[in-house]
Amino acid sequence: MKQVQNWYQLDNAAKIYPAVRTKRWSGNFRLSLNFNEKVEPDILQQALDDVRKRIVNLNLELKKGLFWYFFEETDRPVIIQPEKQSPCGRIGGAHNQDMPYRVTYYNNRIAIEIFHALADGTGGLIFLKSIAARYIELKYNEKIPEFEDIILCGSEYSPEEMEDAFKRYAKFRTLKSRSELRGYHFKGTILPSDQTSVITGIIPFSKLHEKSKEYKVTVTEFIVSLMIKSFMDCQSKSNNRIEKPVKVSVPINLRKLYPSRTLRNFALYINPGIEPRYGEFTFQEITEEVHHFMRMNNKEKYLNAIMCKNLSDEFNPVVRVIPLFLKNVALFTAFKIYGETLVSSTFSNLGRVELPPEMARHIERVEFMLGRFMAGMPSAAAASYNGNLYINWTSGFCEKDVEKGFFTSLIKMGVPVKIESNLI
């Protein structure tokens, strides 16, 4: 008989995702790493089972309450699967029922695809590293030492891993409004909602860093600027009578501002961009706009005010007593108004992925990928490992104008790019 051990409320950022997912689409992201050798499924399954005994998040199942969704601990087995469907396809269904994540393998690669209600990219990376650490322990008899962001099977559980950090750190001094102008949306031939096209660019990190230094910006700011330029070029070619702002949503990892060790969501978004109605922006001007916007808005006080605004909706007594099925309709509408419509794209940079030498010698690369937007707009995610930056563009459109503009701009700047894709 199934043993119910505990249950958890969804954190503030997670609440929207179950409400807006459909039969074919859910807000997922994916983290993967490639070993030097072909993955052995039996060992991987064993590694996952062992890690699940330690990490509570990996035993959670999404359930419906009368007023809210919640996570419930389950002892249901999670079966690893060979990669069969498009990356970041809908999670839940045949094998793992409504488990909010999936572990897959293909050739040398293991991947974990996570429903965003469960965790953010940082949390997901910890899951993946922990599974990989256990896999290496089992396969190569290596002893993995204590290391930042790796949860070893024998380590002690901390309740902080499951805390809702938004509620802990919100100060409620003031609330920051979410109202913004709607952003430009790239249009094209839409793919079926369960299909995602992926284009991976492998870029030498040193060259990219050097180039971003030339513009006096960080690598993230440089990539966001390039994305904005690429979207701008597409908009100017699209003959739109009224040009809309081009904005790229950038998640900010709040763990850098608050000393939280949560494995759940703890990130907020800021949307740097440009207003083409003011005139044509050169790339230099775009980088300046992005740089100053990021410096201006990536501050604890402002982010806390956004966090408080988000939480204030959740704490609203009227909202709380609305039954879940009505709340779902309201949240879906809110998502359509405030969610994807405000921005042109998203760029999530996981930064440099560090591994202990015992693991690093078995792992060739680490990648991060966002699921496609519901409306299909291209978005990008990046992770750096072993001297390379792996940037994954995911899109729900057949046309690749944005991605092409992005990569060809890099080539023109003298930054070499190697391309991989799931498009044959």
Q: Which CB sits closer to other proteins, 190 or 322?
A: 190
Q: Which CB sits closer to other proteins, 326 or 419?
A: 419
d(CA 109, CA 30): 12
- Radius of gyration (C-alpha) of the chain in whole angstroms: 21
The answer to whether 75 contacts other proteins (rule: CB under 8 A) is no
Q: Which CB sits closer to other proteins, 51 or 91?
A: 91
Among 3, 36, 84, 357, binds other proteins (CB under 8 A): 84
Of the listed pieces 90-98, 249-257, 283-291, 400-408, which binds other proteins according to CB under 8 A?
Answer: 400-408
The answer to whether 24 contacts other proteins (rule: CB under 8 A) is no
Strand 379-385 and strand 345-352: the pairing is parallel
The answer to whether 200 contacts other proteins (rule: CB under 8 A) is yes
Q: Which CB sits closer to other proteins, 86 or 260?
A: 86
* DSSP per-residue letters across 194-247: T--EEEEEEEEHHHHHHHHHHTTS-HHHHHHHHHHHHHHHHHHHTT-SSPPPEE
The answer to whether 207 contacts other proteins (rule: CB under 8 A) is no
- What CA dihedral angle connects 416, 292, 312 and 158, to 10 degrees? 50
Phi, psi angles (nearest 5°) of residue 156:
-85, 140
Question: Which residues are paired to 247 by β-bridges?
Answer: 273
Beta carbon of residue 422, minimum distance to other proteins (angstroms, whole number) = 4
Closest CA to 271 of 307, 298, 253, 299: 298
Beta carbon of residue 24, minimum distance to other proteins (angstroms, whole number) = 12
Kindly state the number of chain residues that form the binding site for other proteins, as judged by CB under 8 A: 35
* DSSP per-residue letters across 115-137: ETTT--HHHHHHHHHHHHHHHHH
Q: Which CB sits closer to other proteins, 246 or 415?
A: 415
CB atoms < 10 A from the CB of 26, how many?
A: 22
Beta carbon of residue 199, minimum distance to other proteins (angstroms, whole number) = 5
In 3-state terms, what secondary structure has residue 196? coil
Strand 7-9 and strand 273-274: the pairing is unpaired
Of the listed pieces 58-66, 124-132, 192-200, 294-302, which binds other proteins according to CB under 8 A?
Answer: 192-200
Q: Which helix (H) or strand (E) holds 328?
A: helix 324-334
- Sign of the C-alpha dihedral computed for residues 219, 220, 225 and 231 taken in this order: positive
Among 199, 263, 274, 359, binds other proteins (CB under 8 A): 199
Beta carbon of residue 412, minimum distance to other proteins (angstroms, whole number) = 8
Q: Which CB sits closer to other proteins, 339 or 396?
A: 396
Q: Which of residues 97-126 bind other proteins (CB under 8 A)?
A: 106-107
Q: Which CB sits closer to other proteins, 152 or 190?
A: 190
Q: Which of residues 401-420 bind other proteins (CB under 8 A)?
A: 403-404, 407-408, 411-412, 416-420
Of the listed pieces 53-61, 185-193, 252-260, 327-335, which binds other proteins according to CB under 8 A?
Answer: 185-193
CB atoms < 10 A from the CB of 190, how many?
A: 14
Closest CA to 405 of 278, 233, 176: 233
C-beta of residue 221 within 8 angstroms of C-beta of residue 294: yes
Chain positions contacting other proteins, by CB under 8 A:
82-87, 106-107, 189-192, 195, 197-201, 398, 400, 403-404, 407-408, 411-412, 416-424
